[in-house]
Amino acid sequence: MRRPRTTPRRSLDLDQIAAAALELVDREGADALTIRRLAEELGVGAMTLYGYVRTKEEIAEHLSELALRELEIPGTGTWDERLAQLFRNLRALLWRHPAVAYLDAVQPLSGPSALRAADVALGILRSAGLGRREAVAGMSNLISYTFGSSLFRLVQASESEARRDYERRVRLAGMDELPNIADAAAEMLRRCGDDEFETGLQALINGLREQARQHKE
pLDDT of residue 10 exceeding 60, the answer is no
The reply to whether 31 and 105 lie within a common domain is no
Number of H helices, E strands in the chain: 11, 0
The reply to whether 54 and 83 lie within a common domain is no
The reply to whether 143 and 193 lie within a common domain is yes
Tens of pLDDT, residues 138-155: 999 999 999 988 887 776
Tens of pLDDT, residues 61-116: 999 999 999 999 998 899 999 999 999 999 999 999 988 888 877 777 888 999 99
**Could you write out the DSSP letters of every residue in 52-68?**
T-SSHHHHHHHHHHHHH
Cα separation values, 211 from 117, 126, 132, 143, 215, Å:
22, 12, 12, 18, 6
The reply to whether 82 and 168 lie within a common domain is yes
pLDDT of residue 5 exceeding 50, the answer is no
Domain ranges, residue 155 = 73-216
The reply to whether 128 and 27 lie within a common domain is no
